[in-house]
């Protein structure tokens, strides 16, 4: 009779947080208004941070917010308007907008998503703002944002995490890959399944720190194709699920 295969033992959250914090620093993440964060995250889809930021700067150059524009005082605990005039973006032609964000890739998908969000807000809210998210709880806000074209749970969670400072843990490609390798989720778990699993596993007050550390870890050591297991701060505590044996040393 053959024995059942061993189930990988996943490391505790506090071990991962402690080990990664000892070796890695949390990158600075400027806080943006909710609508700014939504568009920035849409730009980040399927591209590099460098190209996302280049597209963002291009939007700011082509559709700048005038220094003379009168803007309302931001609500308590929020941030003021950013460098882009969203009304100008809304009035731009699809071709103008595609040209502005082309460097981020997939402009033919991202432009309709951005335009849809702006048109919906103008029609339904009466202003180009997502500040009304502050009146929703986390579940309501995620459900609302994911009704927008091109916005999934990961994009919605980024808005809540980074702009509203809600205790959510966005699951991007790095977080998903590492959660699988740590056996926190099954090897083929989806991003949405992983989002729910990490919400149960990671304490609310540690989700922002965990997200930022996993992002840094995934970019520097636990990379996709050739993870640097020999330099990993988790060492033998990592079950290395899915890592080729020649690399898992």
The catalytic residue positions are: 154
Please count the other Cβ atoms lying within 10 Å of the Cβ belonging to residue 72.
10
How far apart, in whole angstroms, are the C-alpha atoms of residue 111 and residue 117? 10
How far apart, in whole angstroms, are the C-alpha atoms of residue 73 and residue 237? 49
226 membership: H or E segment, kind and range? none
User: Cα-flanking dihedrals φ and ψ of residue 84, to 5°?
Assistant: -110, 135
Within the chain, how many helices (H) and strands (E) appear?
Answer: 11, 0
User: Cα-flanking dihedrals φ and ψ of residue 64, to 5°?
Assistant: -75, 150
**CA-based nearest residue to 12, from 182, 140, 126:** 182
Bridge partners for 44 per DSSP = none
How far apart, in whole angstroms, are the C-alpha atoms of residue 227 and residue 212? 18
């Amino acid at each position: 009779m053959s024995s059942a295969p061993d189930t990988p033992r996943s490391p505790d959250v506090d071990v991962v947080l402690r080990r990664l914090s000892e070796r890695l620093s949390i990158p600075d993440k400027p806080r943006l208004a909710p609508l700014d964060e939504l568009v920035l995250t849409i730009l980040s889809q399927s591209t590099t941070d460098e190209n996302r930021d280049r597209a963002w700067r291009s939007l700011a150059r082509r559709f700048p917010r005038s220094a003379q524009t009168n803007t309302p005082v931001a609500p308590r605990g929020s941030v003021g308007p950013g460098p882009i005039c969203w009304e100008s973006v809304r009035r731009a032609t699809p071709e103008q907008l595609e040209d502005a964000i082309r460097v981020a890739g997939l402009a033919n998908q991202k432009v309709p998503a951005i335009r849809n969000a702006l048109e919906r807000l103008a029609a339904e809210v009466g202003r180009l703002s997502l500040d009304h998210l502050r009146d929703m709880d986390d579940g309501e806000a995620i459900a609302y944002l994911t009704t927008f074209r091109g916005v999934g749970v990961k994009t919605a969670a980024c808005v809540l995490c980074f702009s509203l400072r809600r205790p959510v843990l966005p699951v991007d490609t790095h977080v998903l890959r590492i959660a699988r390798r740590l056996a926190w989720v099954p090897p083929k778990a989806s991003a949405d399944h992983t989002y729910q699993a990490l919400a149960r596993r990671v304490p609310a007050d540690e989700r922002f720190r965990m997200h930022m550390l996993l992002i840094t870890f995934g970019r520097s050591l636990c990379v996709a194709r050739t993870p640097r297991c020999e330099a990993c701060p988790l060492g033998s505590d990592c079950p290395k699920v899915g890592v080729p044996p020649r690399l898992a040393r």
